């Protein structure tokens, strides 16, 4: 078999066999297929697409390219969730405890934030002492004990994706549904859960800007799970505004704790309840309506919040900050942002809002940059609110007043005001699978 023929076949619109896909993935991971041939194939896939069978085979081969996690020794149905990323998305911190408190088992590997989007690992690490770099044994021990553990991705999980994603990033081949879907799902398959719920974000803060693109990606990922013998469903959810009111690591943990105690913003709570219902449906434990009621019940009876504290303690975290978020180390400076005009807040460019939080120190521009756990934004107005001159729009938190002012400048550029009340956008714009 020759890489040249595989590239030419895809260039001409042919359908690659499982063997051809395996030849490429194994050869590229081992270093036998050079970057220039891999990038030519990635571009051919970008332009010609892939059938669901090809996308499924590509995902299976990528998932098998490195370590995989065996969750078969765990009790209960193993579940996982993936969000395509957004601003203020702290759903794992709320959903995981709800799911585990209902007897589902979540052994979750999460990532760090990059660019305008945040990452669960950074949020968790704002809890003093909490460790996310765990050995495989420790990870599984905590899952067995608590039903929930969230750790960083292990070193050799899906090395094919690590190489291919870095290549796609510099060869203008990121924007391809089969390549995105296989990249995401290879990591989910390797992480081992039986049921996978996908939160595909759409809007100005999301990777996918329109509901149509998001639906296409969602369908591709649900199809891959079926091809792999796993259960999956996807919700297409709004990211045209930040989720909740907090953007930034310890601020988001505090907001997640409030949501778990029934005091969270409605959008965050409603989405987490919907996601939890989705996991219960996939696990065969409830229908959607019953699932929502069960999830809300775990917030009301305090068991979900208790689960978060159990997980944090098992991972070495100081639980007192969860009980009283005012114990989190404070930011060096705070700057209130006041409205300079009156009118409806019609839109908030969510990627810019995320960029403002990066300016404040809450995120990183490039891998490895340091972050300030206390930095971020607390929103006091969201699109759809009427604003009077002088109203508090938001608070900026950063290490210094100068950083607060830099964040404010970017944040103000994200805001749009107008004379008309904007149309209300639903939080969940669609669903794929999980019938
Ligand atoms: N996230 C991933 O993990 N992979 C992609 O290709 C795009 C987003």
Q: Is 183 a catalytic residue?
A: yes
Region 173-186 average pLDDT: 94
pLDDT at 288: 96
pLDDT at 435 over 90: no
Summarised one tens digit per residue, pLDDT across range 80-112 is 999 998 899 999 999 999 999 999 999 999 988
pLDDT at 387: 97
pLDDT at 10: 98
pLDDT at 370: 86
pLDDT at 118 over 90: no
Strand partners, 377: 247, 396
Q: If you take atom 1 of ligand 1, which residue's CA is the nearest one?
A: 184
Distance CA 136, CA 7 (A): 38
pLDDT at 223: 97
Distance CA 104, CA 75 (A): 9
pLDDT at 402 over 80: yes
Count of all residues that appear for the chain in the document: 435
> Is residue 237 very low, low, confident or very high in pLDDT (cuts 50, 70, 90)?
very high
pLDDT at 422 over 80: yes
> Is residue 367 very low, low, confident or very high in pLDDT (cuts 50, 70, 90)?
confident
Q: Is 227 a catalytic residue?
A: no
Q: Is 163 a catalytic residue?
A: no
pLDDT at 154: 76
pLDDT at 366 over 80: no
Strand partners, 232: 196
> Is residue 114 very low, low, confident or very high in pLDDT (cuts 50, 70, 90)?
confident
Centre of ligand 1 from the C-alpha of residue 184, in Å:
5
pLDDT at 101: 98
Region 114-127 average pLDDT: 88
Distance CA 275, CA 91 (A): 9
Here the tokens at position 151 are 């750790």
pLDDT at 293 over 90: yes
> Is residue 368 very low, low, confident or very high in pLDDT (cuts 50, 70, 90)?
confident
Q: If you take atom 2 of ligand 1, which residue's CA is the nearest one?
A: 184
Cut 0.85: pTM above it? yes
For the CA of 168, the nearest atom of ligand 1: 6
> Is residue 1 very low, low, confident or very high in pLDDT (cuts 50, 70, 90)?
very high
Distance CA 143, CA 104 (A): 11
Region 129-157 average pLDDT: 94
Distance CA 119, CA 96 (A): 15
pLDDT at 283 over 80: yes
Q: Which of 80, 161, 240, 372 is catalytic?
A: 161
Provide the mean pLDDT of the chain: 95
Choose the weakest-confidence range: 115-124, 130-139, 249-258, 324-333: 115-124
Strand partners, 286: none
For the CA of 180, the nearest atom of ligand 1: 6
pLDDT at 364: 84
- Compute how many other C-beta atoms are within 10 angstroms of the C-beta atom of residue 26: 15
Q: Which of 83, 183, 186, 214 is catalytic?
A: 183
Distance CA 411, CA 347 (A): 12
Distance CA 318, CA 14 (A): 56
pLDDT at 107: 96
Q: What percent of the chain has pLDDT over 90?
A: 89
* C-alpha distances in Å from residue 376, one per residue of 118, 231, 354, 361, 413: 11, 36, 9, 7, 16
Summarised one tens digit per residue, pLDDT across range 187-200 is 999 999 999 999 99
Pocket test for ligand 1, best of 82, 180, 216 (most atoms within 8 A of CB): 180
Q: If you take atom 3 of ligand 1, which residue's CA is the nearest one?
A: 184
Residues 6+ apart with CB under 8 A from 356: 377, 396, 407, 408, 410, 411, 414
pLDDT at 279: 97
């Amino acid at each position: 078999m020759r890489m040249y023929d595989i590239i030419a076949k895809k260039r001409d619109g042919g359908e690659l066999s499982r063997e051809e896909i395996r030849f490429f993935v194994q050869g590229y991971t081992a270093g036998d297929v050079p970057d220039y041939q891999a990038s030519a194939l990635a571009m051919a896939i970008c332009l010609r697409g892939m059938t669901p069978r090809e996308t499924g085979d590509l995902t299976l081969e990528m998932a098998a390219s490195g370590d995989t996690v065996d969750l078969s020794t765990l009790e209960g149905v193993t579940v996982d969730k993936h969000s395509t990323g957004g601003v203020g998305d702290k759903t794992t911190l709320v959903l995981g405890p709800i799911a585990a408190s209902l007897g589902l088992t979540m052994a979750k590997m999460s990532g760090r934030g990059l660019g305008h989007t945040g990452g669960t690992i950074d949020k968790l690490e704002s809890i003093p002492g909490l460790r996310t770099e765990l050995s495989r044994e420790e990870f599984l021990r905590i899952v067995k004990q608590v039903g929930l553990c969230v750790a960083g991705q292990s070193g050799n999980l899906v090395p094919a994706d690590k190489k291919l994603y870095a290549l796609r990033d510099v060869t203008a081949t990121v924007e391809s549904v089969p390549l995105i879907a296989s990249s995401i799902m290879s990591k989910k398959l390797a992480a081992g859960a039986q049921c996978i719920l996908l939160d595909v974000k759409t809007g100005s803060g999301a990777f996918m800007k329109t509901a149509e693109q998001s639906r296409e990606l969602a369908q591709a990922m649900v199809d891959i799970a079926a091809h792999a013998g796993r259960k999956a469903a996807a919700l297409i959810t709004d990211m045209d505004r930040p989720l909740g009111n907090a953007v930034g690591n310890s601020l988001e943990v505090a907001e997640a704790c409030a949501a778990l105690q029934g005091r969270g913003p409605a959008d965050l709570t409603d989405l987490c309840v919907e996601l939890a219902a989705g996991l219960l449906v996939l696990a065969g434990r409830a229908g959607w309506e019953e699932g929502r009621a069960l999830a809300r019940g775990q917030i009301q009876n305090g068991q979900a919040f208790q689960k978060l504290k159990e997980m944090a303690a098992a991972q070495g975290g100081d639980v007192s900050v969860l009980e009283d978020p005012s114990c989190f180390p404070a930011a060096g400076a705070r700057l209130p942002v006041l409205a300079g005009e009156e009118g409806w807040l019609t839109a908030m460019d969510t990627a810019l809002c995320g960029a403002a939080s990066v300016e404040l120190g809450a995120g990183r521009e490039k891998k490895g940059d340091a972050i300030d756990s206390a930095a971020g934004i607390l929103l006091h107005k969201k699109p759809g609110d009427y604003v009077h001159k002088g109203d508090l729009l938001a608070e900026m938190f950063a290490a210094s007043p100068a950083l607060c002012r830099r964040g404010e400048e970017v944040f103000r550029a994200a805001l749009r005001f107008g004379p008309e009340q904007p149309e209300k956008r639903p939080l969940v714009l669609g669903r794929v699978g999980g019938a």
